[in-house]
């Protein structure tokens, strides 16, 4: 089954992670994934336009923030916390805990 490509941990760039999380909707998605664990794209998209949401998932994936696993027609997303916490210690905690967006 086709799967998405995900960047290797050692290639992640801080500036790309910051850029991916600088959008309020993307930040909200990542906060929810971090809090609730794996979520399908369908659950995260809700009533929003699918095309623009696909772009947001792609940005998060390319920056190394989320991992998407394809099972049949369902896409499951998770935050790559272990990878991010190893490469950028303290960053995700500081970003996800803060409530002032």
Question: What's the min distance (Å) between Cβ of 70 and its own copies?
Answer: 28
Per CB under 8 A, does 98 bind its own copies? Answer: yes
Number of residues that bind its own copies (CB under 8 A): 24
Smaller CB separation from its own copies, 6 or 87: 87
Q: What share of the chain is helix, strand, coil (3-state, %, to 5)?
A: 55, 15, 30
Rounded (5°) CA angle 35-2-10: 60
Phi and psi for 68 in degrees, rounded to 5?
-120, 125
Binding to its own copies (CB under 8 A): which residues in 4-43? 12-16, 18-19, 21-24, 27
- Which 60-89 positions form the footprint of its own copies (CB under 8 A)? 87-89
**Each residue of 78-88: b (16+ CB within 10 Å) or e?**
ebbeebbeebb
d(CA 84, CA 63): 10
Chain contacts with its own copies (rule: CB under 8 A): 12-16, 18-19, 21-24, 27, 87-91, 93-95, 97-98, 100-101
């Amino acid at each position: 089954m086709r799967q998405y490509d995900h960047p290797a941990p050692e290639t992640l760039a801080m500036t790309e992670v910051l850029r991916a999380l600088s959008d309020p909707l993307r930040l909200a998605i990542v906060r929810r994934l971090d809090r609730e664990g794996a979520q399908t794209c369908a659950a995260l998209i809700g009533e929003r336009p699918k095309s623009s949401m696909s772009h947001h998932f792609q940005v998060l994936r390319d920056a190394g923030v989320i991992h998407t696993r394809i099972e049949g027609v369902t896409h499951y997303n998770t935050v790559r916390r272990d990878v991010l916490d190893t490469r950028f210690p303290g960053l995700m905690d500081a970003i996800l805990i803060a409530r002032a967006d």
